[in-house]
Amino acid sequence: MGKLLLIDGNSLMHRAYYAIPTLTTSKGVPTNAVYGFTNMLFKLLKEEKPDFVAVAFDKKAPTFRHLEFEEYKATRAKAPEELLGQFSILKEILSAMNIKFLEIEGFEADDVLGTLSKKAEEEGLFTLIVTGDKDALQLVSEKTHVMLTKKGITEMEVYDPEKFVNKYEFSPQFLPDMKGLMGDASDNIPGVPGVGEKTAIKLLKEYQNLENLYNALSAEKDERVKGKLKDNLLAYKEQALKSKRLATIIRDVPLNLDFNELKIKGPDREKLINLFRELEFNTLIKRLAESADGSGERKQLEKVLQIEEIYKEEGNN
């Protein structure tokens, strides 16, 4: 069984930007986010040894969620210009590494990851999704695990179905139902007023999903939910169902893609090294040189890199 590594580009770039102190080239180009992301990517490729890899990004255009709910993510602060400018640099690096990156208009990176992981499951592949967004936990299954950043980009926690159930007490696919009940402040998803995480989990343990819950509430003989809680649930039924839809990752994004396009290939080392030189990523150049296979390839690299300069103490980094 092959292994697919999927990376949430936006999430990890934001994490890296805030985790790593200000870093710029001698020309004043900010590089901290792309430096942190690339270091993490190298580490993941070395430790996880995937057969396939892809990075997903959000598109600037409004998604179907924004069209359905104008206030979706409206409370989020705008990303700093110093971060936004680094995405194009990262995409250049990914291209030089022969790593496919995907961004689909009308959908978020989560939807692309959800669609790819579903296709991978159908193909019999094991998938590891790397992200800082807990929404991705709804994708956890026996064949899809989620590696969640806990602190910055150094501490990671891997979720499989057992770990998820131990934490939330219900199955991963019902995470959107919990968001439908309690909302999600980070995405400005409203949920039901007065319902927090403990109450949402209790209800889901009892009813499994929102549809079962509301069917029960409409049945006069069901007395398990009473009082103000029942009143709120009934009063905000449509809002709860809409919140669930907003929190649900789409798994059928139209992707005209063959998994062979995601197969691990060797990087264009000369192009990558030239990029790293321009960005003054001296440590990454050294790591790339050390990973070269075969004496012929190493000699070629030494010619390109002028290797005696590489092993000096790095300046900016």
Domains and CATH numbers, the chain: 3-170+250-262 (3.40.50.1010), 172-247 (1.10.150.20), 269-310 (no CATH)
What is the rounded CA–CA span in Å between residue 128 and residue 147? 7
- Does pTM surpass 0.85? yes
pLDDT at res. 75: 86
Q: Is the pLDDT of residue 77 over 60?
A: yes
What is the rounded CA–CA span in Å between residue 98 and residue 259? 14
pLDDT at res. 292: 62
**pLDDT tier at 309 (50, 70, 90 boundaries)?**
very low
Q: Is the pLDDT of residue 213 over 50?
A: yes
What is the rounded CA–CA span in Å between residue 152 and residue 18? 7
Contact 285, 276 (CB under 8 A): yes
- Of the listed ranges 30-44, 51-65, 214-228, 268-282, the least confidently predicted one is 214-228
What is the rounded CA–CA span in Å between residue 17 and residue 21? 8
259 versus 61: the higher-pLDDT residue is 259
254 versus 76: the higher-pLDDT residue is 254
Nearest to 97, CA basis, from 257, 309, 288: 288
Sheet of strand 100-102: strand arrangement: 100-102, 52-56, 3-8, 126-131, 144-151, 155-159
Contact 196, 230 (CB under 8 A): no
Could you tell me which residues come within 8 angstroms of residue 26 by beta carbon, excluding any fewer than 6 positions away?
Answer: 280, 316
The answer for 49, left when phi > 0, alpha when psi is -120 to 50, beta otherwise, is left
What is the rounded CA–CA span in Å between residue 212 and residue 230? 14
Contact 125, 143 (CB under 8 A): yes
Residues 122-140 have a mean pLDDT of 96
